[in-house]
Amino acid sequence: MDINLRIRRFNPEVDQKPYWAEYDLKEVQPVDRVLDLLEYVKGYLDGTLGLRRSCGHGICGSDTMRINGRNLLACKVLVKDLVRGDRGTIQVEPILGLPVIKDLIVDMEPFFEHYRAVMPYFINDEPAPERERLQSPAQRARFDESTKCILCAACTTSCPSFWANGTYIGPAAIIQAHRFIFDSRDTAGDRRLAILASEQGIWRCRTIFNCTLACPREIPVTQLIAEVKKEIK
C-alpha cells in the first residue's frame, strides 16, 4: 500500500507555529501499526521527529495520539483499520488540551496533577488485621472496570468539557477515584467525593460520552462517572 502520512509538527525552538509534514511511504503492509510508520519516519526519513512510546503493545498508555481525528494508541491501530484499498492518507496529531512540547509529545504534567488530586492510592488508617483485609468476589467486582485504566489520557483529552476548561479534573482522574471509592477496604471515599464535588470536579462532566468512545481499554467511562455522581450527597 502507498500511504501519505501527515504529521502535525512543531519544534518551539525553531518553528513560529505548527505545520503539517507529509511523508510518502511505499510498501506499507495493511497489518503495520501506525507506530511502525512513525518509527520508520524517525529511523529512516527524519530523526528529529518527536514522539513517545514505550511498551509497543497497548499496556503503558504513552503513545496516545489523535489519528484521523480520533484519540488512539499508535501501537494498537493497524493501517488496514484506517485505509481501504491500495492507497490513502493517515493524519497524526498530538492529543488536544495539553501543551505541546515537541511534535507529538505533550506536557502530561497537568493531567497527572489532576490524577494525584484524587489520592489514587489505598488509604486505611485502622489497625491492620492479624491476617489480610478480606474482600468478597462481589466486593472486588464492584471496582473491577476502573482497575483496567492505563492512564493513557485518551478520555480526558477527547472531552470537550476539558478542552473548554483545562482545570476540569477530567474523566481519567474520576476513574482513578472510582477505583478506590468503591473498594470496601478503603476508608477515604468521602474525602475523594468531596474533592470531586468541588468547582473543577465531576459536575463539569456533561455526559458527552467521547471519553467512553476513546478508551482503548473499553472501560465504560461515562457509566462509572455516573456511579460516582450518585455517591455525592
* Dist. CA 18–CA 2, nearest whole Å: 25
Task: Look up residue 132 and give its amino acid.
Answer: E
Rule CB under 6 A: is residue 73 a binding residue for ligand FES? yes
Q: Which of residues 127-166 bind ligand F3S (CB under 6 A)?
A: 159, 161
Rule CB under 6 A: is residue 159 a binding residue for ligand SF4? no
- Rounded to a whole number of angstroms, the distance between the first and last alpha carbons of the chain is 56
Rule CB under 6 A: is residue 211 a binding residue for ligand F3S? yes
Q: Which is nearer to ligand F3S, 37 or 224 (CB)?
A: 224
Rule CB under 6 A: is residue 53 a binding residue for ligand FES? yes
Q: Which stretch binds ligand SF4 (CB under 6 A): 16-24, 28-36, 196-204, 211-219?
A: 211-219
Rule CB under 6 A: is residue 61 a binding residue for ligand FES? yes
* Dist. CA 130–CA 151, nearest whole Å: 34
Catalogue the long-range contacts made by 198-202 (C-beta closer than 8 Å, 24 or more residues apart).
Answer: 200/165, 200/167, 200/168, 200/169, 201/169, 202/169, 202/174, 202/228, 202/229, 202/232
Place of cell 497527572: 112
* Dist. CA 62–CA 152, nearest whole Å: 6
Q: Which is nearer to ligand SF4, 76 or 140 (CB)?
A: 76
* Dist. CA 228–CA 230, nearest whole Å: 5
Strand partners, 93: 66
Among residues 94, 171, 201, 216, which is the contact residue for ligand F3S, using CB under 6 A? 171
Rule CB under 6 A: is residue 224 a binding residue for ligand F3S? no
Query: Are 173 and 112 spatial neighbours (Cβ–Cβ below 8 Å)?
Result: no
C-alpha cell at 151: 492512564
Which entry of ligand SF4, ligand FES, ligand F3S, none binds 208, CB below 5 to 8 A by partner kind?
ligand F3S
* Dist. CA 152–CA 9, nearest whole Å: 21
Q: Which stretch binds ligand FES (CB under 6 A): 8-16, 54-62, 178-186, 225-233?
A: 54-62
Q: Which of residues 46-65 bind ligand SF4 (CB under 6 A)?
A: 61
Rule CB under 6 A: is residue 63 a binding residue for ligand FES? yes
Rule CB under 6 A: is residue 65 a binding residue for ligand F3S? no
Contacting residues toward ligand SF4, per CB under 6 A: 61, 149-155, 171-172, 175, 214-215, 217, 219, 221
Contacting residues toward ligand FES, per CB under 6 A: 53-56, 58-63, 73, 75
Contacting residues toward ligand F3S, per CB under 6 A: 159, 161, 171, 205-211, 221-222, 225
